[in-house]
Amino acid sequence: QKHVAAGYEGAPLTPFADELLFRKAGVNRLLLNLGGIANFTLLPADGGPAQATDTGPANTLLDAVVRQHYPGRTYDEGGQLAAQGRPHAGLLAALRSHPFFAAPFPKTTGPELFSPAYLLENQRNTATENLPVPDVLATLIELTASAVGQAARHYLGLQPAAEILVSGGGAHNVTLLAALARHLPAAHLRSTAAAGVPPDAKEAMLFAVLANETLAGHPALSLGKISLPG
């Protein structure tokens, strides 16, 4: 509430706990959450302040497409359907033309911007309404991976090497992880499980940390759009 009152967005909330749980001296650690929306916290190797941002859609559109076209399925398990398709360059360019992607970092977004209507509008604009569904999914995979890559390069600059710890449902999408590896070839990409935190439980654990710190009366230091332990 104080964050919003100060003119910020009240999000993201996870960097506070990311700082407490995942900071590792001498290592650029990027905590990538692939939920409905893709977002990350960067913990710089030099001990500098954490940086956090949303990067764009992740599972919100992928899951919506699967639910629409594959009755009984709620998501693309392992990215198997997307692996059968090929990204459509024209549709990808249209999707990337959304003003969010050109907005300065850090930034936040949600499914209200990246909705099925956003996808359908861009399909109509590019005459790809009848594109095979695996190609649509492959295009959305590329949209997510390219946006994460752009954001990571913005923050890491000339030092792209980083340990990327992935959580959320997207951590199980092999096709998405492969696309991320192509966009960030210098990074070491692995699950948060490597740091002792199950990828499906990370967000719940972070909010438990926030609740504990609140009850303990420990203050949070607000730095721009994010809050950190203080």
- Supply the pLDDT for residue 222: 44
Averaged pLDDT, 154-176: 89
Identify the pLDDT of residue 119: 99
Predicted confidence (pLDDT) per residue in 17-75, tens digit: 888 889 999 999 999 999 999 999 999 998 888 899 999 999 999 999 999 999 999 99
For residues 186-209, average pLDDT: 91
Residue 90: per-residue pLDDT: 99
Mean pLDDT of 166-177: 97
Higher-pLDDT residue of 51, 93 = 93
Note the pLDDT of residue 47. Answer: 87
170 band by pLDDT with thresholds 50, 70 and 90: very high
pLDDT band at 4 (very low <50, low <70, confident <90, very high): low
Could you tell me if 67 and 52 are in contact, meaning their C-beta atoms sit under 8 angstroms apart?
no
Percent with pLDDT over 70 in the chain: 88
Position 229 scores a pLDDT of 47
Where do we find the tokens 């997510």? 144
Q: Which amino acid would we find at residue 76? A: D
Domain boundaries, the chain: 2-229
Q: Determine the pLDDT at residue 227.
A: 46
For residue 146, the model assigns a pLDDT of 98
Give yes or no for residue 13 having a pLDDT over 80.
no
Report the range of poorest mean pLDDT among 1-15, 49-63, 70-84, 160-174: 1-15
> Binning pLDDT at 50, 70 and 90, where does residue 213 land?
confident
Amino acid at 224: G
Return the DSSP state at 189: E
Q: Which of 32-36, 175-179, 209-213 has the lowest mean pLDDT?
A: 209-213
Architecture of the domain spanning 2-229: 2-Layer Sandwich (3.30)
Per residue, the 3-state secondary structure of the chain, as one string, reads: CHHHHCCCCCCCCCHHHHHHHHCCCCCCEEEEEECCEEEEEEECCCCCCCEEEEEEECHHHHHHHHHHHCCCCCCCHHHHHHHCCCCCHHHHHHHHCCHHHHCCCCCCCCCCCCCHHHHHHHHHHCCCCCCCHHHHHHHHHHHHHHHHHHHHHHHHCCCCCCEEEEECHHHHCHHHHHHHHHHCCCCEEEEHHHHCCCCCCHHHHHHHHHHHHHHHCCCEEEECCEEEEC
Q: What mean pLDDT comes out for the span 84-112? A: 97
